[in-house]
Amino acid sequence: MSRPRTSEPRDRQLNIGLTATEYESLVTRAKALGMRPVHFGRALLLNSGNAPIVNQRATSHIEKLNYSALARLGNNLNQMMRHLHRTGDPLPPDLEPLLMDIRGIIARGAGDDR
């Protein structure tokens, strides 16, 4: 299944030259915000005086690992659900307890930010 088309595709490119130091700074700042460098650069370029892009708080190494693990879990669950929808197989009986555990982990993580 392909990605849906947007009403305004990004079909133009702007290539800029950066020094190695500038590039590393951009990559480091993007990574600190959990963004890809291209998305961070676009946000900086198009922000033009609106609210600045700032890191609300630094994320620890453990938090990054947790986010990564949750992303992998989400990817696996998505693939499983696609398979179940495609085949019409019933949900496995141990899926709901697993989802409850994942929701609990997410709720605890969201509670830390508030």
Better-predicted residue by pLDDT, 51 or 63? 63
Q: Which residues contact 99 (CB under 8 A, 6 or more apart)?
A: 77
User: The whole model's pTM is what?
Assistant: 0.42
DSSP designation for 51: S
Residue 65: the pLDDT is 81
Closest CA to 77 of 101, 53, 45: 101
| Segment 72-98 mean pLDDT | 90
DSSP state of 57: S
In this structure, the number of other CB atoms found within 10 A of the CB of residue 86 comes to 8
Mean pLDDT calculated for residue range 63-84: 86
Query: What is the per-residue pLDDT for 106?
Result: 76
Position 89 scores a pLDDT of 92
